[in-house]
Structure 1
Amino acid sequence: MTEEAVVEKTWHGILEGHPGARRGDPDVIAAAYAEPRLRALFPFPSHGALSFHRNTQYPWSNDLPYIVGDAEWCVVYAPRGVDGVLGESLTPQQAAALVVAHLPDDCGPAFEGPWLQTDGSID
């Protein structure tokens, strides 16, 4: 399966509530999916957060901002390992737009496979 197919299938499974798909706040998921740059990344809803990854298999990249919240109130956090809140008291649409604004320039579509460390190791 191509990278695009894996990412697209994952998004659609989440959006449509397929059995076995991860669950997240529908409004946050829809707002993120509406952003083309986020739609090209691998979505990972978990524990009230929606994170985005540059790859489709564990270990994840974990180097991008992520959203915590629901339809009423969202917070955008800096990437894991970097302290900070990028924005709070946001709508899902504002949160998704803020994540896009803080994506690295070289953040293209997700690739299939695990995230490799700079030394070439997987973990």
Structure 2
Amino acid sequence: MGEETVVEKTWRGILAAAYTEPRLRALYPFPSHGALSFHRNTQFPWSNDLPYIVGDAQSCIVYAPLRVGGMLGESLTPREAAALVVVHLPDDCGPAFEGPWPRPDHPVG
């Protein structure tokens, strides 16, 4: 087997680190545009109210949810980034539900 590529290292590092966190494992992972975001639901439109990770297998940045903006941490390992996302999850952030956001029986407001 050949040497692991940068792409493979990035996927293995960031996704594996996120998967080790039980609270993140319960959310819907959405890799896109060099970022790994997490959502409370499984179909568009997405919740977009949780922190997300940008980076590679060596160094990651964690950003606050899109509506809030700002950086929560930088120069983090994938494992540190995943742990920082967990620290900033809302208390009511449970397992992802199937369907679009907002959940019909729990309107956002």
Matched residues in 2 for 1:88 and 1:78: separation?
12
Pick aligned residue for 2:76 from 58, 65, 90 = 90
TM alignment of 1:64-83, pairs within 5 A: 64-83=50-69
Instruction: Tell me which residue corresponds to 2:49.
Output: 63
Per-residue CA deviation, residues 90-118 of structure 1 (Å, 9 max, x unaligned), is 00000000000000000000000000253
Per-residue CA deviation, residues 20-47 of structure 1 (Å, 9 max, x unaligned), is xxxx722100000000000000000011
Per-residue CA deviation, residues 47-77 of structure 1 (Å, 9 max, x unaligned), is 1100000000000000000000011110000
Matched residues in 1 for 2:12 and 2:37: separation?
14
Contact preservation (8 Å) 1:25, 1:48: no
What is the CA-CA distance between 1:83 and the residue it aligns to?
A: 1.9
TM-score for both structures, normalised by structure 1: 0.75
TM alignment of 1:1-123, pairs within 5 A: 25-116=11-102, 118=108
Instruction: Tell me which residue corresponds to 2:5.
Output: none
Q: Which runs of 4+ in 1 moved over 6 A?
A: none
Matched residues in 2 for 1:79 and 1:85: separation?
9
TM-score for both structures, normalised by structure 2: 0.84
3-state SS in 2 of match to 1:25: helix
Instruction: Tell me which residue corresponds to 1:4.
Output: none
Unaligned stretches of 5+ residues in structure 2: 1-9
